[in-house]
Structures are given as structure tokens and as C-alpha cells.
Amino acid sequence: MNKPPQAATREQLKQRRDELMQRCDAIRKDYRRGLSADSQERALELENRETLDEILRVTEINLADVEKQLRELDG
């Protein structure tokens, strides 16, 4: 039996929300680990942190958008 379009959309949005939440959690977990004691490794981690900051920012924007769409579906 096929789901109505709205139900399918809701399921897709929930799946996307879960993926985005996992991505945010993974980045935050990486932040909590802190920086390496080795200066060369720490320099690389700091460079990577700038990239992670941007990925987290965009992911949070996407997550907010998905949550907004879910609220709109719920009316």
C-alpha cells in the first residue's frame, strides 16, 4: 500500500532531520575531544576546525529548515 504524498514527505523530512542531527552531534563530539598536545597535530586540527565550524553552521541552518517544514506539515 502506498503512503499519501504528505506522509512520504514527512518520513523523508524526519529521516533528513535525523541525519542532520547526527552530523551536528559528531562535530560537537569532535570539539569536546579538544586539541592534541602535539603542536603539528594541533595546527592541523585548528585548520580543520574552521571547516567544521562552517559545516556545523550550514547543518544547523538546514536542520532548522527541516524542522520548520515538519511543523508546517503538522499544521
The answer on pLDDT for 55 being more than 70 is yes
pLDDT band at 3 (very low <50, low <70, confident <90, very high): low
Place of cell 542531527: 21
17 to 2, 11, 20, 29, 64: CA distances (angstroms):
22, 10, 5, 18, 9
pLDDT at 7: 72
Q: Which of 31, 37, 70, 64 is nearest to 49 (CA)?
A: 31
Neighbours of 66 (CB within 10 A): 20
Check: pTM over 0.85? Answer yes or no: no
pLDDT at 4: 66
Q: Which three cell numbers stand for residue 67?
A: 524542522
